[in-house]
């Protein structure tokens, strides 16, 4: 077994810029990142490599970690670079924008990420290579974790994709329940948004329906503050300027009465969160929901937009470092006499 080229780096949390690894790659090469450490957002809140560690080869697309480890096939030739991501991406090539969120938390980012970069020889299988790595090359526990991830990949359903902003993840898995397509959600100290384009006219009779079985809520406190904004739900996205609607299962907020605007810095006025269920009653059992989209928008936000452009599944648990578990199926939009089966 030919060992991969290995480089070890420490990326500080207060320098969110691209850092060269010293490794030159060719398009089609395989690269593994094994990360550890924390980037602190406040004295009690932090994120690890699967939230903050990204890579790129200039000229290609950026890639993020789905766990604290990842393996990718690079899409361009040149120097491999890494980044501690804080803020917002301007594009898929890795241009960084300082967002309001980053501004709000500026000066609070502490800590660092320790990263081992493995550049695999052409023809080498990372699954076999990770099993044969010497302990002096990489942390055996991280190597074993990445090997397990590669052997059991988490594949989202066809037609759905992760949003760039929170990045990719191992959160949403294609599934089948009672012979029907479904999406399993396991959000373990993570955050991810899975989206599907729909483009449906919004009428007075437009409804969104879905079935879900929530096994565990991701947080333990009301979701309407910046540091407790862990939730599981579904979002309707309208025209770019129109605020989104998110329906979610709350730990403690009263359904509808405790509706609130997104508390995360930089997102004020961009999304409204509507609790539809509260507390542990009903967890572990299938529940069917139906919401009048136009009525909800007019009641909680204002005049309704003309169209629904996409639907999103949202899972966040990294504020409290918990784990949310759920399964979604039978997501349907009904509008103007049409029935659109989204899942």
The per-residue pLDDT for range 114-171, each reduced to its tens digit, is 999 999 999 999 999 999 999 999 999 999 999 999 999 999 999 999 998 888 999 9
HEC string for the chain: CCCCEEEEEEEECCCCCEEEEEEEECCCCEEEEEEEEEEEEECCEEECHHHHEEEECCCCCCEECCCCEEEEECCCCEEEEEEECCCEECCCCCCEECCHHHHHHCCCCEEEEEEEEEECCCCCCHHHHHHHCCCCCCCHHHHHHHHHHHHCCCCCCCCCEECCCCCCCCCEEEEEECCEEEEEEEEECCEEEEEEEEEEECCCCCEEEEEEEEEECCCCCCCCCHHHCCEEEEEEECCCCCCEEEEEEECCCCCCCCCEECCCCCCCCCEEEEEEEECCCCCCCEEEEEEEHHHHHHHHCCCCCCEEEEEEEEEECCCCCCEEEEEEEEEEEEECCEEEECC
* Span 5-151 CATH architecture: Sandwich (2.60)
In this predicted structure, what is the pLDDT of residue 109? 67
pLDDT of residue 328: 98
The residue with greater pLDDT, 80 or 108, is: 80
Region 41-63 average pLDDT: 90
pLDDT value at residue 217 = 98
CATH architecture of 161-341: Sandwich (2.60)
* Shared fold status for 5-151 and 161-341: yes
| pTM of the predicted model over 0.85 | yes
pLDDT tens sequence across 210-232 = 999 999 999 999 999 999 999 99
Cα torsion 59, 62, 68, 69: sign: negative
Residue 45's pLDDT band (cuts 50, 70, 90): confident
In this model, does residue 98 exceed pLDDT 70? Answer: no
Residue 16: the pLDDT is: 64
Where do the structural domains in the chain lie, given as residue ranges? 5-151, 161-341
Residue 108: band (very low, low, confident or very high) from pLDDT cuts 50, 70, 90 = low
Task: Tell me: pLDDT of 104 over 80.
Answer: no
Residue 171: predicted pLDDT = 96
107 has pLDDT over 70: no
Q: What are the pLDDT digits (tens) for 292-320?
A: 999 999 999 999 999 999 999 999 999 99
**Residue 154 has what pLDDT?**
94
**Range from 44-48, 98-102, 245-249, 288-292 carrying the lowest mean pLDDT:** 98-102
258-279 pLDDT per residue, tens: 999 999 887 777 899 999 999 9
Look at residue 101 in the predicted model and tell me its pLDDT.
45
Q: What is the pLDDT of residues 191-214, one digit of tens each?
A: 999 999 999 999 999 999 999 999
- Alpha-carbon gap, residue 58 to 49, rounded angstroms: 21
State the pLDDT confidence band at 1, using cuts at 50, 70 and 90.
Answer: low
pLDDT digits (tens, 9 = 90+) for 61-91: 999 999 999 999 999 999 999 999 877 788 8
pLDDT at 341: 96
């Amino acid at each position: 077994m030919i060992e991969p080229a290995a480089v070890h780096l420490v990326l500080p949390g207060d320098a969110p810029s691209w850092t060269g690894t010293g490794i030159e790659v060719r398009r089609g090469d395989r690269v593994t990142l094994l990360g550890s450490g924390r980037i602190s957002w406040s004295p009690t809140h932090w994120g690890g490599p699967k939230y903050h560690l990204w890579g790129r080869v200039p000229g290609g697309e950026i890639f993020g970690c789905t766990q604290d480890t990842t393996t990718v096939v690079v899409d361009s030739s040149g120097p491999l670079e890494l980044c501690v991501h804080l803020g917002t991406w301007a594009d898929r090539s890795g241009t960084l924008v300082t967002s309001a969120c980053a501004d709000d938390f500026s000066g609070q980012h502490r800590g660092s990420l320790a990263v081992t970069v493995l550049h695999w020889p052409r023809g080498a299988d990372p699954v076999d290579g990770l099993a044969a790595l010497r302990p002096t090359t990489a942390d055996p526990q991280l190597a074993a974790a990445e090997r397990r991830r590669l052997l059991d990949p988490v594949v989202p359903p066809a037609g759905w994709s992760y949003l760039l902003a929170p990045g990719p993840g191992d959160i949403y898995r294609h599934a089948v329940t009672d012979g029907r397509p479904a999406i399993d959600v396991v959000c373990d100290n993570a955050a991810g948004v899975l989206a599907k384009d729909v483009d449906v006219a919004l009428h007075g009779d437009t409804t969104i329906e879905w079935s879900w079985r929530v096994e565990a809520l991701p947080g333990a406190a009301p979701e309407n503050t910046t540091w407790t904004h862990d939730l599981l739900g579904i979002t309707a996205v309208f025209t770019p300027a129109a605020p989104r609607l998110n329906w979610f299962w709350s730990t403690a907020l009263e359904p509808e009465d405790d509706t609130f605007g997104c508390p995360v810095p930089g997102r004020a006025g961009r999304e409204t969160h509507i609790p539809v269920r509260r507390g542990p009653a009903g967890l572990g059992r299938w529940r069917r929901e139906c919401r009048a989209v136009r009525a909800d928008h007019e009641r909680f936000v204002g005049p309704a937009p003309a169209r629904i452009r996409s639907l999103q599944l949202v899972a966040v648990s990294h504020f409290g470092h918990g784990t949310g578990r759920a399964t979604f199926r039978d997501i349907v939009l009904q509008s103007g006499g049409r029935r659109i089966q989204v899942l």
